[in-house]
Chain A
């Protein structure tokens, strides 16, 4: 029954939603982040005290709020995909706009966090923990921006009526990428902010 929904979009059953190429891209991105996460974990193992001490200076609240923001944004994208599958272009645009808006909220919260750290004189060279904290979060930050650009392009095309209930691979492609950005933060948050 559920496969019936997928076949609405004329692509083969068993393959993930969206363009196949984006999935290769997603897995390549996951691989890069995965290696970075593991590098963090093992660098921590060699330097537990430093990491535990430095972690206490992070703003855990903003990390948690950002998790909620991204999860909710991802859910809005789900609703956008659902809307276009019913051929409701306008709803799709609204949901996408809301998702992009939450992406913006994420960026603003993150900028406050960065600002606090930078004005405390913290940089990539402060210590190994901050090197990882800053590079992981900045790297992710840039992916949020990229994801927002992709969603905005999709939203523009949806606004122009470029997608229908039958043909909307573009919406699913952008959605898949955005969920990946969410997925990465779901791992990054406990790894960097919580585990001690």
Chain B
């Protein structure tokens, strides 16, 4: 029973909060899209939101937050490289 209570407080509840957080962040991204906002600041905001969402899914849903640093680092660097690359490409496209 101890384990079950533990798992509810350590796994389900945080994931429920993450799910709600993801929905909220998605609506922000959608709102930006709907208003057809553009420009460097907006795009960087969108990318930061995306990075946070990615980390939330990887850490909580996929359970990487309970793994060793190596696994978390691989996932985080993938997100950083992809997100950073998109940001660089965006800046290149401005010129």
Interface residues of A, Cβ cutoff 8 Å to B: 1-6, 8, 13-17, 23, 27, 30-31, 34, 37-38, 41-42, 44-46, 48, 52, 56, 60, 64, 67-68, 71-72, 74-75, 77-79, 82, 85-86, 172, 175-176, 179-180, 182-183, 186-187, 189-191, 193-196
Contacts and interface: CB of A to CB of B under 8 A. Distances in A.
A175 B62 CA distance: 8
Interface of B: 3-4, 6-8, 10-12, 15-16, 18-19, 22-23, 26-27, 29-30, 32-34, 36-38, 43, 46-47, 49-50, 53-54, 57-58, 60-68, 71, 74, 78, 81-83, 85-86, 88-90, 92-94
Chain A interface SS verdict (over half): helix
A153 B63 CA distance: 21
B67 A14 contact: yes
8 contacts: A2-B66, A8-B3, A14-B68, A34-B82, A64-B27, A175-B62, A176-B62, A182-B57
B26 A16 contact: no
A78 B57 contact: no
B4 A194 contact: no
A155 to B, nearest CB: 18
B70 to A, nearest CB: 8
Contacts of B11: 2, 5, 78, 82, 85
Given A82-B15, A86-B4, 19 more contacts: A4-B3, A8-B3, A13-B66, A14-B71, A31-B78, A37-B82, A44-B90, A45-B92, A68-B26, A78-B61, A85-B11, A182-B57, A187-B82, A194-B32, A195-B38, A195-B47, A195-B86, A196-B37, A196-B38
B71 A30 contact: no
Contacts of B49: 190
A5 B3 contact: yes
A60 B32 CA distance: 11
